[in-house]
Amino acid sequence: MRKEPIETKPEFRRHEKIPVTILESYEMVSKAVASEIADRIQKNNAKEKRTVLALDTGNTLAGVYREWIQSFRRGEIDFSRVILFAIAEYHPIEKDALQSQQRFLKENLLDHVNLPSENTFFLDVDGSKKQVEKQLREYEKRISDEGGIDIALAELGSTGHIGFNQPGTQASSRTRQIALDEALRKEAAADFFSEENVPESGVTLGLGTLLEANSVILVAIGEGKSKIVRKTVEGDLEPSIPATNFQGHEPAHLYIDHGAAESLIRVRQPWVLGDLAWGEHRKYRAVIQLSEETGTALSRLETIDFTRNHLAGLLRVSDSADSLCEWVADELTSRIRDTGDFFEKKKVLIFSPHPDDDVICMGGTMQKLLARKNRVDVAYMTSGCVAVFDEDALRHLEFIERIRESLGVSDKRVTGRISELSDFLKKKKIGQIDSAGIQAIKRIIRESEAVAAIETLGIGREHAHFLDLPFYQTGRVKKDPIGDEDVKIVLNLLRNLKPDIIFVAGDMTDPHGTHRMCKQAIDQALLHLKKRPEVWLYRGAWQEWDLPVVDVFVPVTKAEMKRKRLSIF
């Protein structure tokens, strides 16, 4: 989505205190990190040496582990000499619990490669406080006995935490048990279906342990991480940001995608760092950012505003500050598209990752499309059932039972099934996956809400298409990778509806990756079409577009906004 290159010359990196590799996408980051570590493993194998890895968990690193599995299946990597230490674990937690980091590593890596079980070590400690402390000291000793960590791979957390090393962690800290702070518990809440279900503590390798590793690779993905990336890479050493302890630490390296790089100076304001080529889009972006950052309207920007903000170079390639600002204002105005400016009598298909993204992000635009006599269909790609509270599902079951009674329906199969589902919810354990029946109830709740929403805007229920893509049907926040069946379902819909234009969610910062994965399924399906529809990207659920990258602005009237709100609520 970037319209200009990212500068890579040394002068543009001079504020970066940790080496950073910026790649275009999550997939490219995963491949690069997987390849770098795999190369080191294979080099050690050739010398008949072991490789000691310390591995983190989470959706961000799942892509790396998938790459390793594929490389192993192709015979390109051998894990038989690898020693693995887990970086962190919740405490207390059963080792086979859905949220267990031990289970994550087994399901996403260990069950698929030839890494011997006797070479894997996890932080599954138990017992009294003294017993736990003893087990953690033994974990540290085991790492030391193996010669220390060769490569530590971890996600850069939203607060700059690494593993469970939270803000305030000392650089000398060792493997220990800690109470999880509010930020970490909120971050984990979705995995446990509620913040109150998140364990109160965790065990983690300390910063001191990780800093002793021969190599530390950190990974951050998406615009939601851009601010903490900037603070980690360009900010001062701060106890409140644990990752800043890796500044100036030669073995450390950060891999990020374009989204996570957005706040770095060489990406956001490269003109501050050195001379560069001034393409049309870079000029446009620089003037808009200047207006936003100075709080000065375009029409009031003066030459001194440019020179004070490192933009004298831009003025040298422009006629004047006034002509430059006038051009940007005209360009912005030309991108406003009201009802009468939209295409008409076209077949439009809106892809909504969850059964609410359409109206939240496009409720006003959808009304304008209808006003222009376009046929508007909405494809809900996943059920969104994970977002439905158990209490709501139970209330709907009670509603069905009362309706049954009021209609005098006495079918024992119905009453038995309602009772069975209700009992499941009442006895459900913390973090337990919903049964297939409960998932179906929750799916239907979301589908009925989606239909009611588009009907509020004037779209009939016959134009709602519920794809229920298989990758989402795990019953938990962690999803399967996009598969052939997901792509086939999307492709069949495209072939049946033959849309002229499709709208696709472009907010890749969805914390659980569903939006990104849905777009991946659409992109793959489009490759199979000879005649492809025009593709528009929309945002709004997780973040808005930055002004300079917006191609079309859609003004919404007060009446349209009222209908949009009604459709959402």
Does the pLDDT of residue 507 top 80, yes or no?
no
* Mean pLDDT, residues 337-366 taken together: 96
What is the torsional sign of CA 309, 312, 317, 322? Answer: positive
* Mean pLDDT, residues 548-559 taken together: 95
| Orientation angle between helical segments 26-46 and 59-73, nearest 10 degrees | 50
Q: Compute the distance between CA of residue 268 and CA of residue 262 in angstroms, rounded to an integer.
A: 6
Q: Compute the distance between CA of residue 144 and CA of residue 137 in angstroms, rounded to an integer.
A: 11
The total number of residues written for the chain in this structure: 569
Q: Is residue 255 helix, strand or coil?
A: strand
Q: What is the pLDDT of residues 21-66, one digit of tens each?
A: 999 999 999 999 999 999 999 999 999 999 999 999 988 999 999 9
C-alpha dist (Å) from residue 378 to 84, 90, 262, 268, 540:
46, 40, 31, 35, 17
Q: Compute the distance between CA of residue 22 and CA of residue 429 in angstroms, rounded to an integer.
A: 42
pLDDT on residue 475: 62
Does the pLDDT of residue 514 top 90, yes or no?
no
pLDDT tier, 430 (very low <50, low <70, confident <90, very high otherwise) = confident
- Please answer whether residues 250 and 5 qualify as being in contact, where contact means their C-beta atoms are separated by less than 8 angstroms: no
List the beta bridge partners of residue 203.
89, 177
Does the pLDDT of residue 10 top 60, yes or no?
yes
Dihedral, CA of residue 241, residue 217, residue 156 and residue 95, to nearest 10: -120
Helix residue spans in 382-483 (DSSP H): 390-407, 412-427, 436-457
Q: What is the pLDDT of residues 207-242, one digit of tens each?
A: 999 999 999 999 999 888 999 999 999 999 999 999
Percent of the chain with pLDDT over 70: 98
The alpha carbon of 133 is separated from its chain's Cα centroid by a whole number of angstroms, namely: 35
pLDDT on residue 410: 83
pLDDT on residue 193: 79
pLDDT on residue 167: 97
Dihedral, CA of residue 110, residue 216, residue 254 and residue 167, to nearest 10: 100
Does the pLDDT of residue 418 top 60, yes or no?
yes
pLDDT on residue 477: 55
Smallest CA-to-CA distance from 376 within 352, 360, 353, 340 is with: 352
pLDDT on residue 508: 67
Whole-number average pLDDT of the chain: 94
pLDDT on residue 211: 97
Q: What is the pLDDT of residues 458-480, one digit of tens each?
A: 999 999 999 999 999 876 656 78
- Please answer whether residues 35 and 19 qualify as being in contact, where contact means their C-beta atoms are separated by less than 8 angstroms: no
* Mean pLDDT, residues 199-209 taken together: 97
| pTM assigned to the model | 0.90
pLDDT on residue 509: 59
Instruction: Write a three-state SS string for 37-106.
Output: HHHHHHHHHHCCCCEEEEECCCHHHHHHHHHHHHHHHCCCCCCCCEEEEECEEEECCCCCCCCCHHHHHH
Q: What is the pLDDT of residues 181-196, one digit of tens each?
A: 999 999 888 888 788 8
pLDDT on residue 478: 63
Does the pLDDT of residue 505 top 60, yes or no?
yes
Residue with tokens 């496009």: 362
Phi, psi angles (nearest 5°) of residue 151: -140, 125
The two three-digit tokens of residue 223, written as one number? 């615009």
Q: Compute the distance between CA of residue 433 and CA of residue 424 in angstroms, rounded to an integer.
A: 11
Angle at 255 between CA 223 and CA 73, to 5 degrees: 115
More confident residue, 98 or 531: 531
* Mean pLDDT, residues 393-410 taken together: 92
Q: What is the pLDDT of residues 64-110, one digit of tens each?
A: 999 999 999 999 999 999 999 999 999 999 998 889 999 999 999 99
Does the pLDDT of residue 3 top 70, yes or no?
no
Residue with tokens 């086939």: 488
Q: Count Cα neighbours of 188 within 13 Å in the Cβ-side half-sphere.
A: 24
pLDDT tier, 13 (very low <50, low <70, confident <90, very high otherwise) = very high
Q: Cβ–Cβ contacts within 10 Å for residue 195, how many?
A: 13
pLDDT on residue 535: 98
C-alpha dist (Å) from residue 72 to 50, 119, 153, 418:
17, 17, 19, 47
Q: Compute the distance between CA of residue 11 and CA of residue 272 in angstroms, rounded to an integer.
A: 10
Q: Compute the distance between CA of residue 58 and CA of residue 100 in angstroms, rounded to an integer.
A: 11
pLDDT on residue 476: 61
Q: Compute the distance between CA of residue 367 and CA of residue 556 in angstroms, rounded to an integer.
A: 9
pLDDT on residue 510: 55
Smallest CA-to-CA distance from 465 within 363, 382, 365, 360 is with: 382
Relative to beta strand 534-538, strand 252-257 is unpaired
pLDDT tier, 121 (very low <50, low <70, confident <90, very high otherwise) = very high
Q: Compute the distance between CA of residue 321 and CA of residue 453 in angstroms, rounded to an integer.
A: 47
Does the pLDDT of residue 489 top 80, yes or no?
yes
